[in-house]
Amino acid sequence: MRRWLTLLVAATTSLVLIALLVPLALLVRTVAAGAAVGEAESEAQSVAVAVGAVDAETLWLTVEQAAHPVTVFLPDGRVVGVPAPRSAAVELASLGRSVTAAVPGGREILVAVQGVAPGGTAVVRVFLDDDRLTRGVFQVWAGLAALGLALVVLGVLVGDRLARAVIRPITALAGVSHRLASGDLSARTVPDGPPEVHAVGVALNHLAERITGLLAEERESVADLSHRLRTPLTGLRLEAESLADPEESARIEARVDALERAVTSVITEARRRARGRAECDAAAVTGARVAFWSVLAEDQSRHFTLDLAPGPLPVGIAEDELAACVDALLGNVFAHTPEGVSFSVRLEAVTGGASLTVSDAGPGFATSDPSRRGESGADSTGLGLDIARRTAESAGGSLSLRASAQGGAEVVLFLRAWNAGERPVSPVPAGGGSSP
């Protein structure tokens, strides 16, 4: 936009200068030619006075002292001064009419002098070549061109400054909007620039305040919801325990437990989204959780490898959320692969953040998209991968699934860096392939 505004100013300035300087240049040429013709006419009049007042010798001296080439055509056919052809314009002037005629190479000024001899008219001819007619014109044109170029350059510089003054606050607004989109609700802009851009900045800050207020209201509503649901859930549990049929009682209690877990999940998710942005060291969290699961891996004779990038590796996710995410991915490996199946965990730094890869040598995915809630296809709720995906996407990351090199499942989680300015694109390909 800055370049287009600068080009617009340059084009407008150029058009205005062309509209002014071209007529001015033509006027300069006309004025220069008029001044030269006026000077030649004055000289021709001076020679015309001498034609009838002096003798032939004195007339020769007068003609030779003239600043321009002068020729005097006398009525008796004699020619005094610079030799020149007797053109049609000279014949017209000999009839008693002073004229100015254009000839090849310049212009001739003809003054008729009557009364020199009985029945005859003398003609004084002053010749102006093209150089005299345009003397000084090209220098003035060069000055006008230099002035026009300087004005265009000045207009471009001023236009660039004005464009910067407009673009800078717009760029700042875009940065704040990206921060808000990535979850940084503390992002605010300083309204600046033209009145319209200033108004947009004020509106964006108002929108951010409104979003913050709505999330605060949501957090309060969630807290109120947890208290409101606790009493009816407790009542249902008591009613289930009081049933005479043990099987019916156990079945209803299981349903109550499932309902309570679902409500707790909803409340936890809403509270997580209502909180502000956080960060943690992905290397430290991943290493700690793998160390926790390594005990179970030894019990089940599972061989595993850990390839951990040297920390710190800050990402825009809270420590407890990332820990839960890693637990969900490793929990899926233990829950859905037979004992003794090996797995690997790799955390590496990539452009814009970190990439966490968990792969195994098990049977692979049972559905084409097991990350969708409730579609794991392996006798589970499918919430583990969905939680991991939502956790990553809430901070600008992504989750992709594919088959591992051993034929099992591989989950690649892209975690956006804490200090990344814009929402990044995952550097890992979204390979949707999976094993049966």
Which long-range contacts (C-beta less than 8 Å, at least 24 apart) are formed by 372-380?
376/336, 378/336, 380/335, 380/336
Q: What is the mean pLDDT of residues 38-53?
A: 81
In CATH, the architecture of 280-416 is 2-Layer Sandwich (3.30)
Say whether pLDDT at 169 is over 50: yes
- What pLDDT score does 309 carry? 86
- CATH code 2.60.40 for 195-274: no
- What pLDDT score does 276 carry? 53
> Is-contact 333 358, C-beta < 8 A?
yes
Q: How confident is the model at residue 227 (pLDDT cuts 50, 70, 90)?
A: low
> Is-contact 47 66, C-beta < 8 A?
yes
- What pLDDT score does 7 carry? 83
Say whether pLDDT at 25 is over 60: yes
Q: How confident is the model at residue 269 (pLDDT cuts 50, 70, 90)?
A: low
**Sign of torsion, CA 372 374 375 381?**
positive
Encoded amino acid at 118, one letter: P
Assigned token pair, 98: 């002073």
Q: Beginning with the edge strand found earlier in the chain, give each strand of the sheet holding 409-416 in spatial order.
A: 304-308, 343-350, 353-360, 409-416, 398-403
Q: How confident is the model at residue 343 (pLDDT cuts 50, 70, 90)?
A: very high
Q: What is the mean pLDDT of residues 18-39?
A: 89
Per the prediction, the chain carries an average pLDDT of 80
> Is-contact 119 127, C-beta < 8 A?
no
pLDDT (tens digit per residue) in 364-413: 776 655 555 444 444 444 567 887 888 788 777 888 888 888 888 899 99
Residue with tokens 């034609």: 51
Q: How confident is the model at residue 226 (pLDDT cuts 50, 70, 90)?
A: low
- What pLDDT score does 260 carry? 74
Say whether pLDDT at 176 is over 50: yes
- What pLDDT score does 367 carry? 60
**Sign of torsion, CA 370 376 378 380?**
positive
Buried b / exposed e along 257-291 (16+ C-beta atoms within 10 A): eeebeeeeeeeeebebebeebbbbbbbebbbebbe
> Is-contact 111 59, C-beta < 8 A?
no
- What pLDDT score does 203 carry? 92
Q: What is the mean pLDDT of residues 241-253?
A: 80
Buried b / exposed e along 202-227 (16+ C-beta atoms within 10 A): eebbeebeeeeeebeeeeeebeeebe
CATH code linked to domain 2-137: 3.30.450
Residue 299's Cβ-count burial label (10 Å; 0-12, 13-18, 19+) is exposed
Encoded amino acid at 231, one letter: T
Taken as a whole, the chain contains a residue count of 436
pLDDT (tens digit per residue) in 150-167: 988 898 888 888 888 888
- What pLDDT score does 113 carry? 84
Rounded to whole angstroms, the Cα distance separating 62 from 81 reads 9
Pairwise pLDDT comparison (173 vs 56), residue with the higher score: 173
3-class secondary structure per residue, the chain? CHHHHHHHHHHHHHHHHHHHHHHHHHHHHHHHHHHHHHHHHHHHHHHHHHHHHCCHHHHHHHHHCCCCCEEEECCCCCEEECCCCCCHHHHHHCCCCCEEEEECCEEEEEEEEEEEECCEEEEEEEEEEHHHHCCCHHHHHHHHHHHHHHHHHHHHHHHHHHHHHHHHHHHHHHHHHHHHHCCCCCCCCCCCCCHHHHHHHHHHHHHHHHHHHHHHHHHHHHHHHHHHHHHHHHHHHHHHHCCCCHHHHHHHHHHHHHHHHHHHHHHHHHHHHHCCCCCEEHHHHHHHHHHHHHHHHHHCCCCEEEEECCCCCEECCCHHHHHHHHHHHHHHHHHHCCCCCCEEEEEEEECCEEEEEEEECCCCCCCCCCCCCCCCCCCCCCHHHHHHHHHHHHCCCEEEEEECCCCCEEEEEEEEECCCCCCCCCCCCCCCCCCC
Q: What is the mean pLDDT of residues 423-432?
A: 36
Parse the chain into domains and list their residue ranges. Answer: 2-137, 195-274, 280-416
Q: What is the mean pLDDT of residues 104-133?
A: 81
Does the pTM surpass 0.85? The reply is no
Say whether pLDDT at 287 is over 80: yes
> What whole-number percentage of the chain has pLDDT above 90?
7
Pairwise pLDDT comparison (80 vs 120), residue with the higher score: 80
Q: What is the mean pLDDT of residues 84-95?
A: 84
